[in-house]
A and B are shown apart, each in its own frame.
Chain A
Amino acid sequence: EIVLTQSPGTLSLSPGERATLSCRASQSVSSSYLAWYQQKPGQAPRLLIYGASTRATGIPDRFSGSGSATDFTLTISRLEPEDFAVYYCQQYGGSPLTFGGGTKVEIK
C-alpha cells in the first residue's frame, strides 16, 4: 500500500499570500497518478488536480500541481478567501487507492 504523508498539517496564511502544500509517497507513484482535492466544512471534497499537474474543469489557474515519483506539490499562487479549507492528495497508481492525511489552510 502506498502511504501518502502531507505536510504541513496546518498552514496559517493571509489572503493574497502563496501556499505551498507537500505530499510525499512511501513509494513511487506510477505515471504521476496523483490528484488533489479541496474540502470545506460540511461539504464533499472537490477535485482540483489530477495527473499531478492537470487542473480539473472550472478550477482557477491560481491552483497548480507539480512533482513526480514520490514528491508532489500543490501551489495556490495567491490565496482568496474561499481557498481556506482542507486539502488532500490521493494516489491512483496502485491498489488500494490511498489519501494523504490532509493539510488545513487557515486564515492567519
Chain B
Amino acid sequence: QVQLVQSGAEVKKPGASVKVSCKASGYTFTSYGISWVRQAPGQGLEWMGWISAYNGNTNYAQKLQGRVTVTTDTSTSTTYMELRSLRSDDTAVYYCARVGDYSGSYFFDLWGRGTLVTVSS
C-alpha cells in the first residue's frame, strides 16, 4: 500500500544533531519529491525543505539554511532529514510528505505519521 513510514521518536540535547528517516512504499519513488514539514507543540505547520527523488535537487527554507540537510537513497526508497545544532525551539513533530516533482505540483498528497523530536538538557 502507498505509505511513508518514519523512524521513531528522538530525545536530543541542545547542540546535538538528529537524523530522521522516511521510507516510501507502494509507488514509484523517483517520480516524486519528498518534503519535510514540522509542527511545534500546539503550533502550525512549517515547511523545512524538499528533495527530488529523481535527481537529488534540494531546496531549503532560508530560516534553516546551513542547519538542515535532506538526502535520499533510491536503492531503499528512503529519505533522510538531518538537523544540526539543535535548540529547544526545534522541539516538534517532524513529518515527511510526498510532493510532485515539477512546478505546480508542490502540494503534499501523502504524509508520514510524524516523528517527535524533543530537545532538552
Interface residues of A (CB under 8 A from B): 31, 33, 35, 37, 43-47, 50, 56, 88, 90, 92, 95-102
Contact = CB atoms under 8 A, between A and B. Distances in A.
B44 A37 contact: no
A99 B47 contact: yes
Interface of B is mostly: loop
Interface residues of B, number: 21
Given A31-B104, A33-B104, A44-B111, A96 B95 contact: no
B32 interface: no
Given A44-B95, A44-B114, A35 B108 contact: yes
Interface of A is mostly: loop
Contacts of B120: none
B44 A101 contact: yes
A10 to B, nearest CB: 14
